[in-house]
Chains A and B, each alone.
Chain A
Amino acid sequence: MTYNNYIKKTKRNKRIILFSQLFILITLIFLWQYLASNNYINSFITSSPKNIIITLINLYKQNNLFIHIFITLKETIIAFLITSIFSIIISVILYSHKLLYKIIEPFLVLLNSLPKVALGPIIIIWLGANQKSIIMISILISIIISIETIYNAFENTDKLKIKLLKTFNASKKDILYYLIIPSNKKTIFSSLKINISMCLIGVITGEFLTSKAGIGYLILYGSQVFNLNLVMSGIFLLMIISFTLYKLVNLIIKNSSK
């Protein structure tokens, strides 16, 4: 009986949490709409839920909605794949060549502390005002921190286990394959989760600097023509995109670690 009670209690708690969350969300939306429609707040600068829906429908009717979403998604996923693959490869190279790491460490620190968006104008001049630049900015924003995270995890691998493999005459490659990579799978996966968020940040930053389409473009364009409905719609879309991407990466990780 007590076990059943425990199960019941846990389930009830779960329901309470979910309902409370939904309640807060819905209340906020209605409050926002209520304040806007009764002119308590100026909907010209705050927009309103209703206006956001109308804007989205209009975008859809003009056949633009999915183009913008698709462009931002594409840029983010390309940046994510490049960042993730290269940060793992570079970490492996640096881990196997300690001297190389020691040599480039100060440069990495420098690059890491530099606000990467400052490099935006240079990249645009070098690569042109196109998607290449946006993807490059996104990679720059996310890759250094990803390398640092993975490399540090590699460095902190249990020394005793390394010694164990050495007693088996394991080569550097063996140690990487049998120990370093599998024992740091968790860190690699969690850095993937961070990468997807960082890459989206990078893509929006890039789109703010130079773009002809995408969610970042919508937001920037909206603010330039003082169309707050468009700005809010863009932010709303961005929330959905980032949430979906995060969940998607999570799902892939869960399936691959089974």
Chain B
Amino acid sequence: MNLTNELISINELNKSYYSINNETKTLSNISFKLYKNDFLGIIGPSGCGKSTILNILSGLISDYSGKINKKKDLKIGYMLQEDALFPWLTIYENTILGLKINKKLDTNSKKYVLNLLKKYNLFEFKDKYPYELSGGMKQRVALIRTLALKPDILLLDEPFSALDAQTRLSVSDDIYNIIKNENKTIILVTHNIEEAISMCNRIIILTKRPSTIKNIYNIELDNNIKPTEKRKLNNFNYYYDLIWRQIDK
């Protein structure tokens, strides 16, 4: 990984939330780098501030201290915990929402979205409404809505947490496949250790609040197979054990 591949570097990131009665320090001295085609996982106990990191990177939160260097013209997409599809819009209208708001809806971008819908088996549903789709399909629509803006980096905030256990596995396969196909760089926030190991090539473990980085692990599993297949590899359990012991209970 050379320097030109570095997309984001975060240095000494600190963040506190304030209320009338107290100050809650959430992030403390978080530093890491993100490289092109990284699939970086961030895991830690719930409430530790994992999502805060994504909110800061995407620009939703602007009052923090620390330095964040982003590569010039870096486009960041964000996929939320739930699909957040608008029930009064069709699937197609939902996927072009970001384009419309950014005034980037033209024949090219329309074509691009329709192509994504075709590629990921949603084309025939494009004129249907969200309630007519399964949870997994809705999550794919949400991903396409994010991809429509052609982001370089995708931030995934517990993207499967609203799904049931069965769907969760198949959807993570789907989403993983789409992300690999589209050649994106990812930061995945999750509290699910298996999910992180099966999808990521690097995992940051955060401590309890105020979160610091406890450890960063490189996950060396075959990247050409699906997450559900990775779970069957021998090394999977080794990593699971390694990480599980590190997470604060």
Chain A residues in the interface with B (C-beta under 8 A): 158, 160-161, 163-170, 174, 178-179, 182-183, 185
A178-B97, A178-B101 as given contacts; A167 in contact with B88, CB under 8 Å: no
Chain B residues in the interface with A (C-beta under 8 A): 58-60, 77-78, 80-82, 84, 86, 88, 97-98, 100-102, 149
A179-B86, A182-B88, A183-B88 as given contacts; A164 in contact with B80, CB under 8 Å: yes
Contact A167 B86 (CB under 8 A): no
Find chain A residues with CB under 8 A from B101 CB: 165, 168-170, 174, 178
Kindly report which residue of chain A lies nearest to residue B54, judged by CB atoms.
A167
Contact B88 A163 (CB under 8 A): no
Contact B86 A182 (CB under 8 A): yes
Kindly report which residue of chain B lies nearest to residue A170, judged by CB atoms.
B101
Kindly report which residue of chain B lies nearest to residue A165, judged by CB atoms.
B101
Contact with B58, one of A161, A167, A179 (Cβ below 8 angstroms): A167
Main secondary structure of the interface of A (DSSP, over half): helix
Can you offer 30 A-B residue contacts whose CB atoms are under 8 A?
A: A158-B84, A160-B80, A160-B82, A160-B84, A161-B84, A161-B86, A163-B60, A163-B80, A164-B80, A164-B84, A165-B101, A166-B60, A167-B58, A167-B60, A167-B78, A168-B97, A168-B98, A168-B101, A168-B149, A169-B101, A169-B102, A174-B101, A178-B97, A178-B101, A179-B86, A182-B86, A182-B88, A183-B86, A183-B88, A185-B88
Distance in Å: Cβ of B242 to nearest Cβ of chain A = 33
Find chain A residues with CB under 8 A from B82 CB: 160
A167-B60, A179-B86, A182-B86 as given contacts; A160 in contact with B102, CB under 8 Å: no
Find chain A residues with CB under 8 A from B149 CB: 168
Find chain B residues with CB under 8 A from A165 CB: 97, 101
8 more contacts with CB within 8 A, not counting A164-B84, A166-B60, A170-B101, are A160-B81, A160-B82, A164-B78, A167-B58, A167-B78, A167-B80, A168-B97, A169-B102
Kindly report which residue of chain A lies nearest to residue B87, judged by CB atoms.
A183
Whole-angstrom distance between the alpha carbons of A158 and B58 in the complex? 20
Distance in Å: Cβ of A142 to nearest Cβ of chain B = 27
Whole-angstrom distance between the alpha carbons of A161 and B145 in the complex? 13
Q: 4 tightest CB-CB pairs across the interface, nearest first?
A: A167-B78, A168-B98, A164-B84, A168-B101
Whole-angstrom distance between the alpha carbons of A166 and B60 in the complex? 7
Distance in Å: Cβ of B97 to nearest Cβ of chain A = 7
Whole-angstrom distance between the alpha carbons of A182 and B82 in the complex? 20
Find chain B residues with CB under 8 A from A179 CB: 86
Distance in Å: Cβ of A105 to nearest Cβ of chain B = 18
Whole-angstrom distance between the alpha carbons of A182 and B58 in the complex? 26
Find chain A residues with CB under 8 A from B60 CB: 163, 166-167
Find chain B residues with CB under 8 A from A160 CB: 80-82, 84
Whole-angstrom distance between the alpha carbons of A174 and B100 in the complex? 10
Distance in Å: Cβ of A250 to nearest Cβ of chain B = 20
Find chain A residues with CB under 8 A from B97 CB: 165, 168, 178
Find chain A residues with CB under 8 A from B100 CB: 178
Find chain A residues with CB under 8 A from B80 CB: 160, 163-164, 167
Kindly report which residue of chain A lies nearest to residue B99, judged by CB atoms.
A168
Find chain B residues with CB under 8 A from A183 CB: 86, 88
Whole-angstrom distance between the alpha carbons of A163 and B101 in the complex? 14
Whole-angstrom distance between the alpha carbons of A174 and B81 in the complex? 22
Distance in Å: Cβ of A179 to nearest Cβ of chain B = 7
Distance in Å: Cβ of B125 to nearest Cβ of chain A = 20
Contact B102 A168 (CB under 8 A): yes
Whole-angstrom distance between the alpha carbons of A160 and B98 in the complex? 15
Kindly report which residue of chain A lies nearest to residue B151, judged by CB atoms.
A167
Whole-angstrom distance between the alpha carbons of A183 and B86 in the complex? 8
Kindly report which residue of chain A lies nearest to residue B88, judged by CB atoms.
A182
Whole-angstrom distance between the alpha carbons of A179 and B149 in the complex? 19
Distance in Å: Cβ of B94 to nearest Cβ of chain A = 10
Kindly report which residue of chain A lies nearest to residue B89, judged by CB atoms.
A182
